[in-house]
Copies of this chain bind each other. A is one copy, B any other.
Amino acid sequence: MNKATVLGIFCSLLAFGNSHAADIEAGKETAAVCIGCHGVDGHAMNPEWPNLAGQNIKYIENQLRSFQQGTRKNDLMTPMAQSLNAEGVANVAAYFNSLK
């Protein structure tokens, strides 16, 4: 194998590692803690909270990470977000995105 082939394999593995599909069903289970406020159908119980049905995956993921890191602050959301690992963030985002 030449260097280019090795590099190609390495990059493919790297891409594979970063691109495993989020699991909507797992996200639904993880989102059990979310639906008390954001609704089982992604329509919030209170107009002060956002509807999440159909929201963009990247946007939900970024906001959850912002709550985790404290760059977006909310007394309710910070502990909720901090309870999720990276996989949980991806799965919950995919779940809410999948709702109409």
Contact = CB atoms under 8 A, between A and B. Distances in A.
A5 B57 CA distance: 54
Contacts of A44: 56, 59
A50 B53 CA distance: 11
A56 B51 contact: yes
Interface residues of A, number: 16
A74 to B, nearest CB: 9
A56 B47 contact: yes
Contacts of A58: 47-48
B73 A59 contact: no
Contacts of A50: 50, 55-56, 59
Nearest to A74: B72
